[in-house]
Every structure is written in C-alpha cells, then in structure tokens.
Amino acid sequence: MLPELSQDEILRYSRHLLIPEVGMEGQRKLKAASVLIVGTGGLGSPVSMYLAAAGVGHLGLVDYDVVDSSNLQRQVIHGTDRVGKLKVDSARQRLADLNPYIQVETYNEVFSSENAWRIGAGYDILVDGSDNFPTRYLLNDLAALTGRPYVYGSIFRFEGQVSVFDARKGACYRCLFPEPPPPGMVPSCAEGGVFGVLPGTIGTLQAAEVIKLILRIGEPLVDKLLLYDALDSTMQTVHLRKNPNCRVCGEHPDITHLIDYEEFCGVPTRDAHAGLAGGDWDIEPREVQRRLQNNDSIQLVDVREPIELQISSIPGAVLVPLTQLPQRLEELDRNKDLVLFCRTGVRSARALRLLAGQGYTRLHNLKGGINAWSEQVDPSIKRY
C-alpha cells in the first residue's frame, strides 16, 4: 500500500501532481521508493539532490571521504564551510535542508564485496556515483545477482555516459565491458580533470532515469548507452545487446557471488596508498632536497601532462609525461638515480613500475608528489 501525502507534501510536489504521468499516485510511488547512491561527489551530488527534491522517500548515501576544497568546483552538494567534514554527513545535512520529508541513511565506509549485501539490502535501485572500475563492477554484479536495476554514469573531462543496466530485461555492464581496462590506461578525474558542469548534466540524467524507473514511465536507457560531449553539445545513443556469454547474466554464468573487485580490476577502489610505490621505492621530499644540495647524481623526472606546468614545476626537472614514457626512455639517464614525480605520486608510482619492467634499477617515487614538495620544501610552488 502506497503512503499518503501530507498537505505540506502536496504543496511541495504540486508541479509534479499536475503532470498526468506522475499525479498523486506517482508521487506516492516516489515517496515509497528507496534508492542507494554510491558516491557523494560529482555525480552523487546532482543525483541525490534531485531525487531528494523529487520526493524519493528513502535515500542511502555511501562514501568514505572528506570534503576537500578541490571538490567544490563540481561537487555542488558540499560547501566551503564543510571542507574537512565527512562527505556523507555534509550531503545528509544538505538533503535534510532541501527536503525534510524524506529519510536519508549514510554509510561512511568503502563500498566493497564484504559489505555490499548489507548496505544494499532494502533498496529498489542502485545508482553509480563512483569514479573507479572496481565499484562499477561490484554495483553491476550486485544488481544482476539480486534482480535490481543499476543506473550507471561516468564522466571524464568533457565527456559523459549514462545507461540503465538491468539483467532481467537486457544487457548488464559486463555485457558491454567484459574486462576492465589495464591498470593506468584510463586516468581518473583527479589525474585528467573534469569540466565542472559535466557531472551536473550526467547526474541529472541519471536522476531522470531513476524517477522513470520508479514511475514506470517513458523509455529508460535499458540496452542503450547515452554518450554526451559537452564541447560539441551532442548526444548519441548506442544500442546494446545482452551477451549470452556474460559471466554474470549470460546463459551459463560463473559469477554467482560477489568477488574481489580490486583484484579483478588490478586497482584499488580508493587511493588508500596514493603517492606510494611501496618497498624502498618511495623517497621523502626533504631527502631529495638534501641529496640535490649534496650534488648527488639525481635526475628529476616529471611525468605529469604539459598543461600542469602552467600551475607548478620543480626547477631542473625533465618533463616526460607518463603517456609518452614508453617512447622516450632514451631521455632517462640509467647512470643516475631517477626521482619520478607527478601531482600526488599516483602516476609516478605507475611510471616507476613501468621503468622497473624495462630494467631500470635506480628508481625512486617522490612520496606525495609535487604537492608534498610544496608543503615540505618550497611553499612558493602552487598546490592543486
């Protein structure tokens, strides 16, 4: 039985009630619905805000991070006064102000195969607001194994994607992407950047798909992948097909329970070890400074993209972007200690592993990247 609407709710949702496809019954369906949103960042911000405003009665928010000032360019659910606070708490506070008639539950933890069943229990629809492949495969498999729709969104620089994966009716995410890309092949937004308004466009489209699914109106993006290019202001729709050999929703699936998705994708769900290469590879900024002052045999190698030099640089470093590194190995002096660095140490850790595979032995990863160099050695260098 659908819940009733109070007089205040009727006034609040009156513009919905005037639409024949929604009306009183549809608004009551929204109030009865429950949606889990994994991620309260760029995509999770517009998704959760518009679902809350629309009157979806029960929202679950999953995140493990705190609000950083670099988030505010696109993660509009947070504000300057929330920097340093848990993202789930910041988001819940904003949604409570936006609509006090809904219930918001928060989960301040990494979404993983160990807790996904527990967290996901009781939610009708799963929404992807994440920025990594392990979480996408986890959400897809959880949705497929439990017979629920998974509303997918992805963003990078000026481009975005949206789809509804529902294994009961059509293709799932694994049908489209059976295997994840090799680690390091697809940079994250933190590494490659993102156009600030793009998450708003894609997240709002995701929210529209969720509402359509709840109301059972229109044509959801099942078996369709919508591609958006903000630079060209174009949208294309690619039609998908269910893969009969899909490992989770095919005719003979071999994935019947949640697996280790970090191992499957070869990357962590979060940057728990951001800036670390591990073992004896890591070197502290002050140690590099000391060795440079002692005129030790060191070559600083900047593996960032050229555009990043407009923000900051370390004098004397040679620029060899990670994307060009395999073709420019001759520029690196094997007779010197190579100290690799990027913004925070993530890309340089990948570069180090690549060079180690090519036989280089005198390798170091600048722990924390150029941002750590700014904090510990030279404050005049801009952090970003």
CATH of the domain at 154: 3.40.50.720
Which DSSP category does 73 fall into?
G
CA dihedral 167, 169, 175, 180 (to 10 degrees): -40
The pLDDT of residue 190 is 80
Residues 293 and 234 in one domain: no
- pLDDT average, residue stretch 225-246: 98
Note the helical H segments in the chain: 7-12, 14-17, 23-32, 44-54, 87-98, 116-120, 133-146, 173-176, 189-192, 198-215, 261-265, 285-293, 346-357, 369-376
Read off the pLDDT band of 272 (50, 70, 90): very low
Going from the C-alpha of 379 to that of each of 59, 141, 215, 376, the distances in angstroms are 43, 46, 54, 7
- pLDDT average, residue stretch 123-152: 98
pLDDT of residue 145 exceeding 60, the answer is yes
The pLDDT of residue 305 is 96
pLDDT of residue 201 exceeding 90, the answer is yes
The pLDDT of residue 270 is 60
Q: Is residue 219 part of a domain?
A: yes
The residue assigned the tokens 């970090």 is: 262
Q: Is residue 15 part of a domain?
A: no
Q: Is residue 28 part of a domain?
A: no
Residue 342 annotated as catalytic: yes
Read off the pLDDT band of 273 (50, 70, 90): very low
What does the alpha-carbon distance between residue 114 and residue 181 come to, in Å, rounded to a whole number? 24
- Catalytic-role residue among 189, 246, 249, 265: 189
What does the alpha-carbon distance between residue 152 and residue 159 come to, in Å, rounded to a whole number? 14
**β pairing state of 159-165 and 224-229:** antiparallel
Q: What percent of the chain has pLDDT over 90?
A: 93
What does the alpha-carbon distance between residue 77 and residue 90 come to, in Å, rounded to a whole number? 8
The pLDDT of residue 280 is 84
Q: Is residue 383 part of a domain?
A: no
Q: Is residue 274 part of a domain?
A: no
Residue 189 annotated as catalytic: yes
Better-predicted residue by pLDDT, 38 or 271: 38
Read off the pLDDT band of 131 (50, 70, 90): very high
Residues 228 and 352 in one domain: no
| Element holding 152 (H helix, E strand) | strand 150-156
- Catalytic-role residue among 172, 249, 265, 342: 342
As to burial, measured by CB atoms within 10 angstroms (0-12 exposed, 13-18 middle, 19+ buried), residue 8 is: exposed
Q: Is residue 37 part of a domain?
A: yes
Residues 215 and 352 in one domain: no
Residues 6+ apart with CB under 8 A from 31: 2, 3, 5, 9, 55, 56, 57
Q: Is residue 172 part of a domain?
A: yes
Read off the pLDDT band of 379 (50, 70, 90): very high
Last residue of a domain, one of 265, 299, 329: 265
Residues 164 and 293 in one domain: no
- pLDDT average, residue stretch 117-127: 98
Residue 247: give the domain boundaries.
33-265
Residues 289 and 231 in one domain: no
Per-residue pLDDT reduced to its tens digit, 279-335: 689 999 999 999 999 999 999 999 999 999 999 999 999 999 999 999 999 999 999
Residues 307 and 193 in one domain: no
What does the alpha-carbon distance between residue 161 and residue 326 come to, in Å, rounded to a whole number? 30
CB contact at 8 A, 275 and 344: yes
